[in-house]
Amino acid sequence: MKITDVKTDLLTILISLKAEEKHLSRIRQACPNARLRTAPWINQADQRMEADLMKGVDALLCELPPANFDDFDQLKWIQLCSAGYSQVLNLPILQRGIRVTNGLGNFDAPIAQWCIMMMLMWHREMLEQLKNQKNHVWNPDGKFQGDLFGATVGFWGYGGIARETARLCKSLHTNVWTMTRDGKTKSRPLTYCVSGTGDPNGNLPDRVFAPSQVQEFLSGLDYLFITMPQTTATIGMIGERELKMLKPSAVIINPARAPIIPQEVFVRCLRERWIRGASLDVHYAYPLPPEHPLWGMPNLIMTPHISGSAESPRFLDRIYDIFSQNIERLVAAKPLLNELTTEQLQGR
């Protein structure tokens, strides 16, 4: 679908999110003649939408497309509020020539803050210190006085979350390594980035590794941040072989997706203490059932997918900023921010 196929002066936009007047005003500023429709916020895959709302819609802003997606009769563009995009992979997106942009950059700052918090908790042995406090134990042992200066942190994948976390890590004087698909970092002029955050030009890492150097990459890390998207290619990518390349003192911090490490392998890794520990904000089931073995792991910190959720106070402001900037770009016949490639939409 070409940009010229959209009558940008008569754009019909459907919003399936909370919409405050300041957000609608921002959209009208981007496209004064846009016809705006609002619909309930769909956040469950089986939720449907009134078909009448969907007829004649050119652009959809949503978290999840409605279950009755086929009722869209002229949809040309979907703006997702999430960085992940698995919710559109089984839809006839490519067949119908629909463009898709995602919410990359929206969650980078809060998720990076979660990553730093987790790293500091492990480095200062906060699990044990909190236990000591609960038990009224005074113990100023040296193991609680760790210093991150000179530690080596690694990012498997160097997208927005990695880049903002890397920026914060550099301020803590750590060595920053990353491994990318081609062993290079790139500038990202067409990826949304909150002003003053991240590493838009890809200059921060001290070393960049290719997949053929995975042994060298993993064996040198104190902290491994998993920061790649979940696709058919990345599910199960980090297995027993890779985990055993890490030092026994290493820690895994995963704000990306749990299935990147197979569940049974991850459980064994923690149970048999191949590494020191791990932090998870992403899970193998939602909610994680009470009988799941991960609940009882003493070397695991879990949070319920809150590192960069839609409940974040700045979530809506940032997603409407992305959407409005993209409307302006659409009207001006410029490339859109965060547009998914054909390869991504094929799940590769």
Q: What is the pLDDT along the chain (348 residues), one digit of tens a residue?
A: 444 455 556 899 999 999 999 999 999 999 999 999 999 999 999 999 999 999 999 999 999 999 999 999 999 999 999 888 889 999 999 999 999 999 999 999 999 999 999 999 999 999 999 999 999 999 999 999 999 999 999 999 999 999 999 999 999 999 999 999 999 999 999 999 998 999 999 999 999 999 999 999 999 999 999 999 888 889 999 999 999 999 999 999 999 999 999 999 999 999 999 999 999 999 999 999 999 999 999 999 999 999 987 787 799 999 999 999 999 999 999 999 999 999 999 987
CATH number reported for the structural domain that contains residue 47 in this entry: 3.40.50.720
Residue 337's domain comprises: 3-106+312-345
* Residue 114 domain-assigned (yes or no): yes
Q: State yes or no: cis peptide before 287, omega within 30 of 0.
A: yes
* Residue 34 domain-assigned (yes or no): yes
Centroid of chain to Cα 88: 16
Based on the domain organization, do 136 and 22 belong to the same domain? no
Q: Could you tell me which of 106, 108, 80, 105 has the C-alpha nearest to residue 340?
A: 80
Based on the domain organization, do 136 and 8 belong to the same domain? no
* Residue 21 domain-assigned (yes or no): yes
One-letter amino acid of 220: G
Q: Could you tell me which of 271, 289, 277 has the C-alpha nearest to residue 246?
A: 277
* Residue 117 domain-assigned (yes or no): yes
Based on the domain organization, do 169 and 259 belong to the same domain? yes
Note the pLDDT of residue 230: 85
The CA-atom distances, in angstroms, between 123 and each of 2, 129, 138, 176 are 51, 12, 19, 16
2 HSE (CA, 13 A, CB side): 2
One-letter amino acid of 177: W
* Residue 186 domain-assigned (yes or no): yes
Based on the domain organization, do 197 and 50 belong to the same domain? no
Residue 110 backbone dihedrals phi, psi, to 5 degrees = -65, -35
Note the pLDDT of residue 3: 44
Based on the domain organization, do 278 and 322 belong to the same domain? no
DSSP SS3 for 100? strand
Q: Considering its fold, how many domains does the chain have in total?
A: 2
Residue 211 backbone dihedrals phi, psi, to 5 degrees = -55, -30
Based on the domain organization, do 118 and 90 belong to the same domain? no
Based on the domain organization, do 124 and 196 belong to the same domain? yes
Based on the domain organization, do 74 and 133 belong to the same domain? no
Based on the domain organization, do 242 and 97 belong to the same domain? no
* Residue 132 domain-assigned (yes or no): yes
Note the pLDDT of residue 4: 44
d(CA 316, CA 19): 8
Note the pLDDT of residue 8: 58
* Residue 307 domain-assigned (yes or no): no
Based on the domain organization, do 43 and 63 belong to the same domain? yes
Based on the domain organization, do 137 and 250 belong to the same domain? yes
- 205 CB-contact burial (10 Å; exposed 0-12 / middle 13-18 / buried 19+): buried
* Residue 75 domain-assigned (yes or no): yes
Note the pLDDT of residue 180: 97
d(CA 227, CA 255): 7
d(CA 338, CA 159): 11
Based on the domain organization, do 162 and 215 belong to the same domain? yes
